[in-house]
Each structure stands twice: as C-alpha cells, then as structure tokens.
Structure 1
Amino acid sequence: MRNREIAELLYETADIMEFQQIEWKPRAYRRAAQNIENFGEDIEKVYEREGKKGLTEIPGVGESIADHIAEYLETGKVEKFEELKGKAPSGTTELMEIRGLGAKKMKKLADELEIKTISDLKDAVSTHRLRRLEGFGEKSEENIARAIENYEKSHSRIPLGKALPLAEEIISALKTELRIRTPDIDLSKIIYTGSLRRLKETIGDIDILAEAKERDAGGMMNAFVSLPEVGQVVSKGKTRSSVIIKEGFGIDLRIVPPESYGAALQYFTGSKEHNIELRNIALREGYKLSEYGLYSKDSGQQVAGRSEEEIYRKLGLKYIAPELRENRGEIKAAAKNALPELVDAEDLRGDLHMHTKYSEGAESLETMIKKAEAMEYEYIAITDHSRSQKIANGMEIETMKAQWKEIEEMSKRFRMKILRSSEVEILKDGSLDYPDEILKELDVVVGAVHSGFAVSEREMTGRIVTALENRHLDILAHPSGRLLGKREAYAVNFGKVFEAAAANGKVMEINCQPSRLDLNDELIFRAKDYGLKFCISTDSHAVSDLTSMRYGLGQARRGWLEKEDVVNTYPYSKLKGVFKKLRD
C-alpha cells in the first residue's frame, strides 16, 4: 500500500505551506493526510479502479488534492509541491516538529540567523545566539534546547501507530510471496516480536520471527530480501537477514526450526528484564533457558521450546501475555496464579469519544453512526468540541441544540444508543465551557485541556482538580495532554488528579489516537491503584480512526486492566449507572 507514502507527502507539503504563511490550506492537507493514512484500502488501487472520482470519496480529499495524488501516482512527483519545496529551506519539515517553533519564528530564524536545519538550530542554541534575537530570550532558548532533545529521542524510535500496520503489511507481503514460491509451506507462524508485540508506544527496529524447516529456510529468506518494499539489504544469512525498507525503517527476519519456535518467540519478545528473571527461575529449577529452548542442566536434553505456553508451564508459571512482560510483578503474579484477566477487543461495547463535521471531524453524523453500528457497537457518544475551541470549529449552543435534534432523529433509525455528548474545554480557572443548564442536558460530558499548557504544576493541577469536582464532568480526556514526538505532557501532579477523580467518581480516558496514547501504560498502572475506572476511546475524526481502538486497548492491557475496569465494556444498562444522567 502507498497510503503512508502519499500521506507523508501531504504532511510535508502542509508544513512547507505553513512556513510560507499560506492560510487555511495546511489544515486541509493535514486532514486529508490523516484520512489517507488510516484509509483501509490501497489508494493506488482506488485510483486505478475509479480514477480521481474515487479519490474524492475519501474524506477530506477534494478535487484539488485528488489531482495532486493522481499526478504523484502517475509521475512520482507533484510539480506544484516541487515548486513549494524550492522556495523553502531544506530542513523546514524537521524544524516544524520542534515544539515552540511556529511558522513565523522559523522564518525569523531563517532570515536573521540563516537557520535552515536542526543542526543549524542546535548550533545557534549552543552558542547562545538565539537568546539575543528579538522575540526569543534566554527562556525561549532553554525551551527550544529541551524540545530539540525530545525530538531527537522520539525520532530514534517508531511510533506504535506506524510500526504495527507496517509490520502487518510486510508479513502479509511475505506470506503472499511465499504462497507463490512455496505453496506447501506453513505460514501460520510468522509474527512480529520485540517491543512491538508488547505494544509499547514506540519501538526501535521491527523484528519478525518465522518457523521453518531447514529445507524451506533459504526460500523464505530469498522471498524476504526480494520484497518490493525493501530498499536495501544490509545482510542476508540462513537464519537471519536485515533490510532497510524504502520508508527508512530497519526490519530483521529470523528463522528457527519448529522445536525452537516457542523459545525464540518468548526470548525475542522480551523485555530484557522479564527474560533475565525468567532465566534465573530456570536456573533455580535445574534448567537452562535460551532462545533455542529450555534444557535440563544435567542431561542437556531439551524439555520445552515448541510453544511459549510450555516454557512458562515447565517453569511453574501461568502463561504471561506479551503486554505484561516488563518485570513489574507479572512473574510473581504468574507463580501465584494471580495474573489479571486482561481486557480484550471482544469485550468492548462502545466508543465514548468521536467527532463529526459539527466541529473538526471529517464525516457527517450519519456516516460515523453507520460505521460504528457496522462494528456492532451497542452505544457511542458524539463528542464534538465546545465553543471556546475556535480552531476546532467548536459548537455554539444553538449549533449543539441542532445536533441534538439530528441525534434524536438518528436514534429512531439505528439500533445503537447514540449519546449526546461534548468534548468540553476545561477553562483556565477549572470551569467548564458551557453553562450548567446545557451541561446537565448532555448524556456524557468529556472534559479536556487543549490550551494554556505553559503553567506551573500547581496551576495545572488546580485547574484539572477543580474540573473533576464539577458534578457535570464525567470523563477526563487525554489526561496528560502529550503528543508523542511533538509535545511533552504538561506539568501536573497525577497523584492529586487521581485522588480527586476517585473521590468524585470520574472516569479516566485512554485515548487511542496513535499520536496521543494518553493515559500511557505507566499512568494507567498507577491510576488503577486508586480504584479508578477507565474508558478506551478513539477520539475519532473520521471513520478510519475508529479502527485505532486497538492501540489504546494495548496500553490498557499493558496497564493490567481487566474488563471490569473499563466502562465501555459494560452493557448499556450498566453504563447508565456510571453516567447517571443517561436516559432510556
């Protein structure tokens, strides 16, 4: 699929447009890019089948953007974009990702200090030239130094939302190739491993493990290094090969025989700390554990290795799900048969955070409802932005009331319960963005902070705690405010936030957007100790976003959550007890 390739092109163009201070277009290009990135079908095949008209059926893709996509698919470039690039410094798109650098500041840096790349910017910071520039100062220079450091850390790893579909695509392509070359080979045991299998929010390189007999291993390696996605073969061997795909990411394939597959899968899934503890247990029990199998120290005979389950069982442990393997108490719990029964995708009955065209969503209310019903949800909450969020086309009260009427009409046509809700801004003083007489008419109030991040921990904590004490607020959305690789979490005392939420019966959101994953696994783990309930919500802005539920679910599982901890696993009759305002 070329969806990500085209999405990256549009994102880059939006950055350059913003640098050149072209109004409104960057937002339109980013929305189109996001929808293409999450589009379930190969955009190239859509174009081959339906032409430009098919492209315009993708939400956010108008005729102009469709023309550009068609030109790119046919020629490999877009002349208009090439012209724009020629007018902007080469490092513009990287610089745009440094927090605190908007288009105006970047232009000033380029014009007055000839800063065109991150390297130039780092040099200007280290020599303190930035602080002498009008509009910056010492504090700005310190903030930008931290932002550069965070950018470099985050960009040394791949976000889960990019790595997981990429790994799935590569494995699918490999299986397709193997069906042609060796149709009798067993393809059921080709899987990604490492931190990706543990569903960490970011990963390093992508590791793939495959089971094959010796006679089939060479053919499998040949198929892997010959995939059209491969840009460079770093190394090729009988049991391991490394490539760099055209998108710039490294992927390793390891092949092991059937008798070692389970041991290798356990070993390469990790984490390192979990594996060390497991090997120590093996030694105490008279075994030696490696990626090849579990062996008796006395006889050297292999006693387990074909499956992960038999490795754990032989060591006296219940099977430990990959997401838990971080050495945070899971091994002791497995020894006591006290592991949590982790929440699963089949447990989820609804989605409590999504947007429509009433605010900044790309789809109509009806389109979002149809897709959610096709996913067999029992209920959804429509949570368009509140009025102070002008940049997100936040709803004035009259617009909201019009939406209520449409929801009422839709409720007659669809099986699902459609909850009238809103993502209501938590204002700087902790009050909510609508008056009480409006808030009490909402089925669910999702509170969120979208601005005013640069305050002290005391101020932000007070702001959020005040909101949690408001009787109308039900859910705290994306509680840390972070954007992976772009914006750090704001300073807040989560102990006090969790205490206030528990005291007032509020629900913590686990936001599934790959750029957020907020709360993260560590904060979920902490919050559970306060007796809090959670919801796993997609924060969808298009129907394609609804499938991102799996990313938030992964963080919930990493945080040891069970079905009962997550309110959108409840049937509607039970959910009403959580949000007492709900009507039949």
Structure 2
Amino acid sequence: MNKKDIIKTLEQIAVYLEIKGENAFRVSAYRKAAQALERDEGTIEEIGDPSKLKGIGKGTASIIEELMEKGESSFLNELKEEIPSGLITLLALPSMGGKKIAKLYQELGVEDAATLRKACEEKKVQALAGFGAKTEEKILAALDDFGKRPDRLPLSLVMPVAEEVTRRLNEFSDINRFELAGSFRRGRETVKDLDFIISTDKPDQVSEQIGLMDNIKQIVGQGETKISLELEFEENLIVPVDFRMVRDEAFATTLHHFTGSKDHNVLMRQRAKENKEKISEYGVESAESGEVTTFTDEPAFFAHFGLPYIPPEVREGYDELETKEADLTLVEQGDIRSDLHMHTTWSDGAQSIREMVEANRERGYTHMAITDHSKFLRVANGLSVERLKRQHEEVRKLNEEFSDFTIFTGIEMDILPDGTLDYDDDILKDIDFVIASIHSGFNQKEDTIMKRLETALRNPHVAMIAHPTGRLIGRRDGYPVDIDRLIDLAKETETILELNANPNRLDLTSEHLKKAQEAGAKVAINTDAHRIDMLDHMPVGVKAARRGWLKKENVVNTWDAETLIAYVNKNR
C-alpha cells in the first residue's frame, strides 16, 4: 500500500468506529493519524516507524504497520463484519456523514436505504436531535434517486470494466480479432453500454465462452451472432455489454456501423446513395448489381467513398465528411512528451518526487513538472513558501542526476475567492511552471469567477490554468465560466489552458477544445496524477483532445522542453 491508500484506510476505520458508536477520542485518533501521514512529506517507506510522527500512537501505528506488511487491516475487516453493509452505502447520500448515520443506526435501527425510508415516512427521523423536518424531506428526496440506474455511465466507472472484458477476450480461443466500438470508442464522456465487435469463424464457441464469464448478472439476450449481458461489479455497478460476432470480411463495416454516431452513419449512407450503393453492417452493396464489397479495414472503407480516414472521435455527423485530410490529422498518444500537472507526498499525492520522476521516464517522456498544491489548500497539505523552496531545491538536485530528462519546478496555485493569487510575484518568478486553479468559491457569480481567472491569466508568471471549469462528470457542474472570454484571454496573454485527462473531469470539454483550437489558444493535456497509476489516464485525455479536433502543434506537451520553457518565459 502507498501512503494515500493507508490514509484512506485510516479514514475508513474512523467512519466505521463513528457508526458503531465508539467514543469520540478513539474515532479522532484514526483521523489524527491520517492527518499526520498527510502532513509528512515522505513516502510511507521513508517515514519508517509511523509512531515517531506526532499524532500517531502505538495503536494506530500497529494498524499502519499491518497495512504496510499485508495490504489490509484485520481490524477494518472485523468492523465490516460488525456493521451492516447497507449503512456504508448511505454515506453516498448528500450531507450524510458518519455521525448522522450512527444516530440513525443506534436510535432508530436504520440499517439500509429501505429502513431509512421507512423511518422517514413514519416521521421518526425529524424527531432526532440534529435532523428536523426539512432534513427528513431532503433525505426522502435523495432516496428517490438513490440506487437508480442512470441511462448513461461516466467514463471513469466504465473504463475498468472495458479493460477487464478486453483482458478476458484476449484469453479466448476462436477469435481472429476484436475491437470495442460505440460511444466508448468515440471517446464520449458517458456511455450507455459497451459494444464489442468480434471477428470469428466459430460464433457458437465464442458465445459459449462469453456465457461462462465471471460477474454476469444476467444474460439479456442471445442469438446466433449476438449476446447481450449485464455485468455486475463492486459497489452495485452494472454495465450492459453487447458482443457482436461477424466473419472477418465484414469486420470493418460492422465496426464502422456500431462505432457510429447515428448522425455520422446517416451522412455515410447519403454518400453511398449518391454512388448508387447501400451500406450495411456486412459491406457496401451495389444498388444495380447487388454485389457486396467488403474491406480489410476502416481506411479502405472510407477510401471506397473517396474519403480520408475519419478518426472515430470526430464521427459525430457534423462536417467530418467535408474536412480536408490535413485537418483530420489530430494529436496522438505517441506525440506526448511530457505531463505537466501532478502531485507528490509533499502535498496530497501518494508517491515521492523521485518515484514520479521515474514513472514519467518509464513512460518515455523527456520532461515533466512537479506541481503540488499551494498553501491555501490546507486540506491537501498545501506548501508554505518555506516548504516550496525546499521542494524546489530537491527538484534541482534530481535534475543534476539526469542528462536525458528535465524536471520543471512547479506549483498548482490557488486563485483565491477574493481574486488574489496564493503567492506573491517575488515567489512566482523563481518557479519554472506555475499553474493557477480554482478550488473554492464555486457558487460565485460568473462575473466574479471571470475576474478571478483574468487576474491569473494576466499574471506574467502563470503558465497555465488547470481544469478551467472545475466540473466533475456526473457529480458537479463546476463554476460558471464565459468560455469564449476565457479562450480569448488565453490567446491574448499566451496562457496555456488545460485539458485535465482525469476521466472524472475531462475539463475542458470537447466543445471547448474545438473553440480553443480554432482560436489558436494553446492547450496542455495533463493527468493531474496523485498516484503513479493515474499517469495512465493520458490516453483518455488524448482521446478527448481528438474529440476537440486538437492538432499536435497546438498541444504544448508535444513540444520539447526547450520550446516549452521558452514559450512560458517569453512574457515574464
């Protein structure tokens, strides 16, 4: 376990103890231990004996040591056995923390959503201290939506399922090739289901193997060439998955058809009609002779209609069929040379600076930026000026070790609610790569938000605005931003705008990115990684960038280190 995992486990134990009704001092001990680890700048290995840290006693230290040794806590496992699992799911309800759930559990016998609803309907909840009639009404309203299956699932939930199904299919026999189609392939932020197109000469055998998969909640439908499943994973995540089996000669047209979008397919059928042809899942049929033409791959399919290859990400039925080939040459994963937004144990990350450096080098990058949180964000152990200077000294020492790799000093600096920046210019001038971002005051009016952003954009030391709208897909809309004004200011001040590749964010959206590309504003695709594995979100960001029609030359982390730093410094 890394430090971040251990902190999360300690906080989990605190919540379980709170629900169980343990005394406040014992609950607090685990929260204090989590905070002590968060405050320390070292990795869990560098810390060594956790009991040496202020705020960690012998009891919590033994829990931490067990987590380091075994990767799990026997104490937490015992608590999970003692407390009804349905109570933990109630934490997902708005404004429902451990204390409130404990009161409901201990005083009303609430154990899950059903018993909570019953208690509310019987007006028992409003009688509890700290609740009241309005709170009871809000709980009932929240329960109406609780557990409902959404029509579309956020990409962040579906990605692990897609990866797992892909892994399983790679182990099957009798498959020639397969590919994931649908809105997932087009890089949409949410998907309704997963569509796998499978080339096989033995559909019965493949279908039989699919039917034996783990995690099947139900088989929705099964025919000769298609099987539809609902796969259920942890936290009641149910993902519909369709598997379509075709002969290899039809693979390209079937893949195109089920990649969509619907509007793109309409455009293609119109193009075929002009050629006196008809497109089906299985090929292109001549209206005159009935002869069916098939293709080895999608580029050959598009070439048949006199079109360049149209990337899946832009098949949305707008003007892609009228676009020149040069404008369809979009940024690719292989173009990325750096990641410019990430966090370490110095603030709220899981790994050390050195570990993040090694992870970036392993991914073939030539440079990177370490950008921990600034002092305003205390909850994330933001860096004081003194700690910031010490960190940058460590970065400089690491730079001396590598002749083939460059580490930029950096910071993710808060744009404060009053419109000022978290550090003065005399501090910022010595930082290689300054990111400015909003983490507070989301309810302010658009004019106020825009004034805050403009302050950062016009500061000569600010290189980039991170996750510019602050949205979290499916959970938070973000703060109000005049996107056109933001892009104009970014272009005018030559400030980079971020496409945050975290699948929970994808901020800016594809629509915003298209505007940025057309305006000539520069964009960086960054992972905002808080753990090493989050660096692997870069391909998600690249796919989102392609949906926004971004070209390589407009994405600053396709540039070499010298070009990037010269761009950042030219207005300082």
Given that 1:13 and 1:81 are in contact with CA atoms closer than 8 Å, whether structure 2 keeps it comes out as: no
Matched, 1:218 2:204: yes
Matches within 5 A, 1:390-539: 390-414=378-402, 415-539=404-528
Given that 1:444 and 1:581 are in contact with CA atoms closer than 8 Å, whether structure 2 keeps it comes out as: no
User: Alpha carbons of 1:121 and 1:282: their partners in 2 closer, same or farther (altered >3 Å)?
Assistant: farther
Tell me how far 1:221 sits from its aligned partner: 1.1
Task: Answer with 570-579 or 148-157: which moved more.
Answer: 148-157
Given that 2:310 and 2:328 are in contact with CA atoms closer than 8 Å, whether structure 1 keeps it comes out as: no
CA distance in 1, matches of 2:144, 2:547: 27
Tell me how far 1:201 sits from its aligned partner: 1.6
Tell me how far 1:579 sits from its aligned partner: 0.8
CA distance in 2, matches of 1:280, 1:404: 59
Given that 2:11 and 2:31 are in contact with CA atoms closer than 8 Å, whether structure 1 keeps it comes out as: no
Matched, 1:78 2:77: yes
Matched, 1:241 2:227: yes
Match of 2:349 among 361, 365, 368: 361
Task: Answer with 518-527 or 231-240: which moved more.
Answer: 231-240
Task: Answer with 277-286 or 422-431: which moved more.
Answer: 277-286
Tell me how far 1:552 sits from its aligned partner: 0.9
User: Alpha carbons of 1:134 and 1:451: their partners in 2 closer, same or farther (altered >3 Å)?
Assistant: farther
CA distance in 1, matches of 2:32, 2:257: 44
Deviations 1:55-105 (A, max 9, x none): xxxxxx944446785589xxxx9332222x33x7x2643x54455655567
Match of 1:232 among 215, 218, 226: 218
Tell me how far 1:495 sits from its aligned partner: 1.8
Matched, 1:281 2:280: no
Which residue is 1:45 aligned to?
none
- AA aligned to 1:284 is E
CA distance in 2, matches of 1:126, 1:315: 63
User: Alpha carbons of 1:12 and 1:357: their partners in 2 closer, same or farther (altered >3 Å)?
Assistant: closer
- State the superposition RMSD in angstroms: 3.9
User: Alpha carbons of 1:166 and 1:365: their partners in 2 closer, same or farther (altered >3 Å)?
Assistant: same
Matched, 1:558 2:571: no
User: Alpha carbons of 1:136 and 1:552: their partners in 2 closer, same or farther (altered >3 Å)?
Assistant: farther
User: Alpha carbons of 1:472 and 1:165: their partners in 2 closer, same or farther (altered >3 Å)?
Assistant: same
Deviations 1:29-63 (A, max 9, x none): 99x9xxxxxxxxxxxxxxxxxxxxxxxxxxxx944
Which residue is 1:44 aligned to?
none
User: Alpha carbons of 1:455 and 1:386: their partners in 2 closer, same or farther (altered >3 Å)?
Assistant: same
Match of 2:327 among 322, 339, 350: 339
Given that 1:167 and 1:206 are in contact with CA atoms closer than 8 Å, whether structure 2 keeps it comes out as: yes
Deviations 1:326-376 (A, max 9, x none): 12321221xx43533110111111110111111111111111111111222
Match of 1:310 among 300, 306, 312: 300
Deviations 1:171-224 (A, max 9, x none): 22222132xxxxxx453x2111111111212212211110112xx211111111
Match of 2:366 among 374, 378, 381: 378
CA distance in 2, matches of 1:516, 1:267: 29
User: Alpha carbons of 1:388 and 1:120: their partners in 2 closer, same or farther (altered >3 Å)?
Assistant: farther
Deviations 1:400-435 (A, max 9, x none): 111111111101112311101000011112221011
Matched, 1:540 2:529: yes
Deviations 1:206-249 (A, max 9, x none): 11110112xx2111111111123434333332211122224132
Matched, 1:160 2:155: yes
What percent of counterpart residues are identical?
A: 34
- AA aligned to 2:457 is L
Q: Secondary structure at the match of 2:569?
A: coil
Which residue is 1:295 aligned to?
285
Given that 1:68 and 1:78 are in contact with CA atoms closer than 8 Å, whether structure 2 keeps it comes out as: no
How many positions carry a matched residue from both structures?
529
User: Alpha carbons of 1:238 and 1:394: their partners in 2 closer, same or farther (altered >3 Å)?
Assistant: same
Given that 1:209 and 1:255 are in contact with CA atoms closer than 8 Å, whether structure 2 keeps it comes out as: yes
- AA aligned to 1:255 is M
Given that 1:151 and 1:485 are in contact with CA atoms closer than 8 Å, whether structure 2 keeps it comes out as: no
User: Alpha carbons of 1:369 and 1:504: their partners in 2 closer, same or farther (altered >3 Å)?
Assistant: same
Matched, 1:255 2:245: yes
Tell me how far 1:143 sits from its aligned partner: 9.8
CA distance in 1, matches of 2:136, 2:492: 41
Tell me how far 1:553 sits from its aligned partner: 1.0
Deviations 1:242-268 (A, max 9, x none): 222241322221101122111110011
Q: Secondary structure at the match of 1:460?
A: helix
Tell me how far 1:169 sits from its aligned partner: 2.2
Deviations 1:482-526 (A, max 9, x none): 122322221222122222222211101111112211112122122
- AA aligned to 2:561 is Y
CA distance in 2, matches of 1:573, 1:490: 35
- AA aligned to 2:313 is E
- AA aligned to 2:320 is E
CA distance in 1, matches of 2:329, 2:139: 44
- AA aligned to 2:461 is H
**Structure 1 gap segments, 5+ residues each:** 1-5, 33-60, 179-184
Match of 1:264 among 254, 261, 267: 254
CA distance in 1, matches of 2:383, 2:340: 18
Q: Secondary structure at the match of 1:573?
A: helix
Q: Secondary structure at the match of 1:532?
A: coil
- AA aligned to 1:562 is K
Matched, 1:177 2:172: yes
User: Alpha carbons of 1:18 and 1:304: their partners in 2 closer, same or farther (altered >3 Å)?
Assistant: farther
Given that 2:10 and 2:30 are in contact with CA atoms closer than 8 Å, whether structure 1 keeps it comes out as: no
Tell me how far 1:293 sits from its aligned partner: 1.5
CA distance in 1, matches of 2:571, 2:346: 22
Task: Answer with 383-392 or 476-485: which moved more.
Answer: 476-485
Given that 2:155 and 2:504 are in contact with CA atoms closer than 8 Å, whether structure 1 keeps it comes out as: no
User: Alpha carbons of 1:427 and 1:118: their partners in 2 closer, same or farther (altered >3 Å)?
Assistant: farther
Q: Secondary structure at the match of 1:447?
A: strand
CA distance in 2, matches of 1:424, 1:382: 12
User: Alpha carbons of 1:255 and 1:134: their partners in 2 closer, same or farther (altered >3 Å)?
Assistant: same
TM-score, structure 2 as length reference: 0.81
Q: Secondary structure at the match of 1:254?
A: strand
User: Alpha carbons of 1:574 and 1:171: their partners in 2 closer, same or farther (altered >3 Å)?
Assistant: same
Tell me how far 1:387 sits from its aligned partner: 0.5
CA distance in 2, matches of 1:537, 1:147: 34
Task: Answer with 165-174 or 380-389: which moved more.
Answer: 165-174
Given that 1:421 and 1:443 are in contact with CA atoms closer than 8 Å, whether structure 2 keeps it comes out as: yes
- AA aligned to 2:554 is D
Match of 1:388 among 365, 376, 379: 376
Which residue is 2:339 aligned to?
351
Task: Answer with 349-358 or 148-157: which moved more.
Answer: 148-157
Match of 2:187 among 191, 196, 199: 199
User: Alpha carbons of 1:429 and 1:337: their partners in 2 closer, same or farther (altered >3 Å)?
Assistant: same
